[in-house]
Homo-oligomer: A and B are copies of this chain.
Amino acid sequence: MKTKQDTLYVGSLAKGLRLLRAFDEAHTELSLTELAQRSDLDKSATQRLANTLHIEGMLEKDPDTRRFRPSHAWLQMAYAYYWSDPLVGQAMPKLIDLSQDLGETVNLTELSGDHIVYVSRLPCKRTYFAATVIGRRLPALSTSAGRAMLATFPEPDRNAAVESWPIKRFTPSTTTDRDKIRGSIARAARDGFAISTGQMILNEIGVATPIIGHDGRAYAAVQCSVSAHTWTRETIIRDILPKLQDTANAISPSFQGHRGSARPDH
């Protein structure tokens, strides 16, 4: 759009990234023309860029169907990420203990702009695979983890987020009323944890506790997803919450600072 502005901006690289972003849960393998459509590039550009990505091992190409797919290199990216994120190394052993102790699925999530990202996931009970895979992004306001984190922010920031951050309706019971969300976050600020019901999946309850950073704010949270068939708000608070909080608290002190999410603001 405004590629013109900067001589420090390499358009070809950016276009190549657009090809990569064309793949998601609904588009797992793409033909050349689909790729072109989804990344809004003309056929020639797509051809050249996709070919380059293929040669460089970022895209696999089925010799028969001629369709492209993410390669194993995409997993290596996650590998590199894990090492680069100081929180992951600190948290993993404790999260493993927690999941063994609880016998329920435990997740580590981080704030990423106005979304949360599932950074690590320890599935225990059989659960919807789809629900939370590593790397999934969800609107922070619609998740227990996001609310637990936001609850640690000063009130002005909190309110600004509640007003402007995106919300997406996943189930009929997803909360879209921002006032209710504000209330939920206020309660989380008071209690130190957040619980949400059926926001993403029906009959799914999420409970999250914040991992507080050096500045008193949380940019990460420990989250636990359980079935509403076997758990209630009360039993969760009684049996899960204490251990969840212990884990989050055990991670917090050993974790100082958070990854600057600054974007260029030219």
Contact = CB atoms under 8 A, between A and B. Distances in A.
Interface residues of A, number: 78
A45 to B, nearest CB: 9
A83 B25 contact: yes
A70 interface: yes
A259 B69 contact: yes
Given A17-B56, A28-B84, A84-B70, A260 B12 contact: no
Contact of A89 (B49, B63, B129, B262): B129
A255 to B, nearest CB: 15
A55 B18 CA distance: 13
Nearest to A25: B83
A207 to B, nearest CB: 20
Interface stretch (A72-80, A145-153, A196-204, A229-237): A72-80
A56 B20 CA distance: 12
Interface string A52-85: 1111111011111000011010111111111111
Given A25-B83, A51-B8, A261-B60, A110 B78 contact: no
B129 A60 contact: no
Max chain B Cβ within 10 angstroms of own Cβ: one of A6, A51, A97: A51
B75 A81 contact: yes
Contacts of A10: 12, 16, 48-49, 52
Given A16-B13, A135-B79, A63 B25 contact: no
Max chain B Cβ within 10 angstroms of own Cβ: one of A5, A6, A69, A78: A78
A24 interface: yes
Nearest to A63: B262
Contacts of A97: 126
Contacts of A259: 60, 62, 69
A24 B26 CA distance: 29
A5 B56 CA distance: 13
A160 interface: no
A78 B77 contact: yes
A266 to B, nearest CB: 9
20 contacts: A8-B48, A10-B12, A13-B13, A13-B49, A17-B53, A17-B56, A24-B80, A24-B83, A28-B83, A60-B261, A70-B77, A72-B117, A75-B117, A75-B119, A79-B133, A89-B129, A93-B126, A93-B129, A96-B126, A122-B123
The 7 closest A-B pairs by CB, nearest first: A79-B135, A78-B78, A75-B135, A13-B16, A28-B84, A74-B81, A12-B12
